[in-house]
A = this chain, B = another copy of it.
Amino acid sequence: MSCKVSAMVGRPRSEAARKAILRAALDLCARDGYQNVTMKGIAQAAGSGRQTVYRWWQTKAQVLLESLTGVLAEEVPEVPETGDARADLVTFLERTFVLAQGVAGQVVTGLMADAQSDPGLAAELREKIITPRRAALRSILARGAVPGDVDLELAVDLVYGAMWYRLLNRHAEVNTDLAEEIAGLLGRIR
């Protein structure tokens, strides 16, 4: 998108540095926790200069958001329509929850925290991470996992809500059992 025709002089952006930074941010987040990650630390761990990070991202949240996008893109929980609505739902949730148990959980949790005081980040987070997955879950639910007259937005809130709640509060795990249990309970709605 940038550097269309004119100019394009000087040394080009180092793709190696970009990847190193995204990777370093992820690793540090896994090791020290999101809140303890710093721009300085990211640059250091990536073996890059501080300015190189700031040149392409404004905040650590943006770095980690892009890191996260990379992680999630590798394994998007797209579920083929098998005809069994509940099985599809379970499959979707299982895949989602497995991701949430890994670094992605760490990152997305931290991003959500930062988003509380950064409306721009909040919007970006919703746009790039939350909303697409809400839409995916909604379409799965629409296959018949809940009765047709149920408010799907509310159902999505309940399901993802439970996941977020457990991710943040850690009173219980977000594992494959939860997928089954949620699907089971939704299936009892008449």
Contacts and interface: CB of A to CB of B under 8 A. Distances in A.
Chain A interface residue bracket vs B: 35 or more
Q: How many copies does the complex hold?
A: 4
A172 interface: yes
Contact of A117 (B35, B155, B158, B166): B35
A156 to B, nearest CB: 9
A166 B166 CA distance: 14
Contacts of A153: 172
A185 B35 contact: no
A117 B168 CA distance: 11
Given A151-B181, A160-B165, A161-B163, 14 more contacts: A33-B116, A34-B116, A122-B169, A125-B169, A130-B171, A151-B185, A154-B185, A155-B185, A157-B166, A157-B172, A158-B158, A158-B162, A164-B169, A185-B189
6 contacts: A35-B113, A35-B116, A109-B116, A113-B114, A162-B162, A190-B190
